[in-house]
Chain A
């Protein structure tokens, strides 16, 4: 740090301190009086008002311990204090109002012996517990930390014991009937303290505290699901009920229920057969399938009696009618190998489930009479064969009809075919099929021609 001397040395003797002209001394005013005498030199130190107050002398403080009256224990506090003055109230007294004690049950030995004995707890332990409670103002974490007995006791156990004792003492002091509302509730709470439950609850809370975010998310999702399920539960239940009702709907109200077993069914069927037999003209007839071992039986009986035993179930029970009945079903395996000549009154059977030909006629007879055993599809009623030669020529639109006509004439098919025999019809059907194919092909040809024209225009 440069000082004046350094500067003088640097600048040489040329440098003469110029005397800054001081401010012209003013006449003594308030201001000049405020400024102390020695104002040519700046002041360095403030005056110490505190020192001034005590007159510049130092005071000796004392440091001794004094008991505090408001404390229960004999703790001596040492603090610096001024020399003897008037007794000012000890500072601790000011805080005395905050020295509130926790409520704890009070009992003496007799009461203890009478009501408060416990298997796990000795009197000493109980007393120590009570004291710890009151010392730590009922803060259980502190109690469980400080309290030490022979056995390792969880907080819940301590709590349980304490509350039990409190409850009993409370009950003793004020009989239950004369307890006020809050008192009673308190009493009840104390009594109903369950250490196990509390322990588990605390563990659960601990678990909640410690769980990770993923678990939290999962839980929320699941909860949402559960909620939804619960909401729809009622709905689902009613729907299920409805469905069940519908499924079981055909409630067997009628007497048909008794025919559900196979036995019942056979019985029913036999009943029907029997009633039918009793009738004059039978509607139901036995099947004509003869079994092989009936050749001895006369043809007349054989036709009637033993039908298919599996089917009939009534061997030989059917009464025969006076009218001779011809054999009924297709009889390839009957005793008589030759074809049976139809009698004048050949009567085809009505119900012949097992048979192929309902009529028994020789092939020659069939031809003579123009009987045809048809294939599968038969129209009902009367049809004319010549229709099958004319109807296909007519199409939905007249244009189509004309087209067909031109094709046919071109092919040489006459307009009127006078002989609609089956062969001719077949031939004609084939021709018509070809005509249709031709028509379709021509239609396709037109379309393709159009397409080609378009494309060639494109390619050009």
Chain B
């Protein structure tokens, strides 16, 4: 076997977006065991999943370990590829879930930790809250981007192979087809980048499946940030003016003190 010190691809970074988040429902809910255990009012699912239009996450993610609150039995839940990296549980309190990501062996990288705060209660603006209550669904997810800096050659190979998109494709006829099979909103080209528009993913549930992550959303965020930047710029200007005024005052005072 070749030695483990394999060469790395220089000046390259491979980015993969994925989603860490959780869903929460008020019990009883069809997804969760009925009757719920004593005192548990909410059923929740914490997950790590890829972009709905993106390459297969198992290319680089081989195992995920969810560390729940110590009051749970078997607080350390490990999910291996391929199965969806999710943990379903019931409970009543919010806590931080430590998520440990194990990478594919070709990468030769150590596991990393991310933290996710389990949100169970409705949040956000009143409108959002109302909607959440109405749907009996609270979703809190974040887009994470893992950047593989200077990946090993083998890893790079797997990361750039076409096979990654096969999970999205539908077998058609003989062998692997190439027709992406999206029902809603027309075709969204499978890509590691964000989709152009928000769409509903394969699993059918829009927000939960990460369909909201799109370039449209990105633009929204950008606009918001641009506004903030502008207001900050204003504040800086304000400060500068005040500084000028102060400088003048200092000069006057200097003259006054000198004249004394």
A→B interface (CB under 8 Å): 281, 342, 344-348, 350, 358-359, 361, 365, 367-374, 378-386, 407-408, 410-414, 416-421, 423-424, 427-428, 430-431, 434-435, 437-438, 441-442, 444-445, 448-449, 451-452, 455-456, 458-459
Contact = CB atoms under 8 A, between A and B. Distances in A.
28 contacts: A350-B153, A358-B12, A367-B192, A368-B192, A369-B14, A370-B16, A378-B150, A381-B149, A382-B109, A382-B146, A382-B147, A382-B149, A384-B112, A384-B114, A384-B145, A386-B145, A416-B142, A417-B225, A419-B217, A419-B221, A427-B226, A430-B229, A438-B232, A448-B243, A448-B246, A448-B250, A452-B249, A459-B257
B10 interface: yes
Contacts of B247: 448
Nearest to B193: A367
Contacts of B233: 434
Contacts of B157: 345-347
The 8 closest A-B pairs by CB, nearest first: A370-B192, A385-B145, A459-B256, A455-B253, A411-B228, A434-B232, A427-B225, A441-B239
B81 interface: no
Interface string B234-252: 0110011011001101100
Contact of B14 (A372, A384, A431, A435): A372
A374 B192 contact: no
Given A370-B14, A434-B229, A445 B243 contact: yes
B31 interface: no
Interface residues of B, number: 69
B225 A382 contact: no
Contact of A417 (B146, B156, B221): B221
Contact of B147 (A344, A383, A441): A383
Given A348-B153, A382-B112, 4 more contacts: A370-B193, A411-B231, A412-B231, A455-B257
Interface string B67-82: 0000000000000000
B205 interface: no
Contacts of A456: 253
Contacts of B170: none
Nearest to A437: B236
Given A369-B160, A438-B232, A374 B12 contact: yes
Contact of A452 (B12, B161, B229, B246): B246
B242 A421 contact: no
A387 B146 CA distance: 10
B257 A358 contact: no
Interface in B107-137: 109-110, 112, 114
A371 B12 contact: yes
B240 A424 contact: no
Contact of B225 (A428, A438, A442): A428
Given A342-B160, A378-B13, A455 B254 contact: yes
A430 B235 CA distance: 14
Nearest to A441: B239
A441 B12 contact: no
Of A346, A365, A382, which is in contact with the most chain B CB atoms at under 10 Å from its CB? Answer: A382
A429 to B, nearest CB: 10
B225 A424 contact: yes
A161 to B, nearest CB: 99
A445 B242 contact: yes
Nearest to A357: B11
Contacts of B193: 367-368, 370
Contacts of A455: 250, 253-254, 257
Contacts of A372: 12-15
B224 interface: yes
Contacts of B160: 342, 346, 359, 361, 365, 369, 371
A384 B159 contact: no
Most buried by B among A348, A430, A442: A348
Given A378-B13, A379-B149, A455-B254, A385 B225 contact: no
Nearest to A347: B153
A359 B159 CA distance: 13
Interface in B65-105: 103
Given A358-B11, A365-B160, A442 B239 contact: yes
Nearest to B107: A382
Contacts of A347: 153, 157
A444 B194 CA distance: 43
Given A374-B11, A418-B141, A441 B243 contact: yes
Nearest to B55: A369
A345 B162 CA distance: 11
B260 interface: yes
Contacts of A430: 229
A431 B229 contact: yes
A451 B153 contact: no
B183 interface: no
B44 interface: no
Contact of A424 (B112, B218, B232): B218
A381 to B, nearest CB: 6
B212 to A, nearest CB: 9
Nearest to B242: A445
B12 A419 contact: no
A421 B194 contact: yes
B47 interface: no
A290 B132 CA distance: 62
B144 A386 contact: yes
Interface string B140-172: 011111111110010011011110100000000
* Most chain A CB atoms below 10 A, which of B7, B160, B217: B160
B46 to A, nearest CB: 16
A227 to B, nearest CB: 63
A359 B156 contact: yes
B199 interface: no
Contacts of B246: 445, 448-449, 452
Interface in B15-45: 15-17
Contacts of B55: 369-370
B253 A358 contact: no
Contacts of A441: 236, 239-240, 243
B161 A344 contact: yes
A361 B64 CA distance: 31
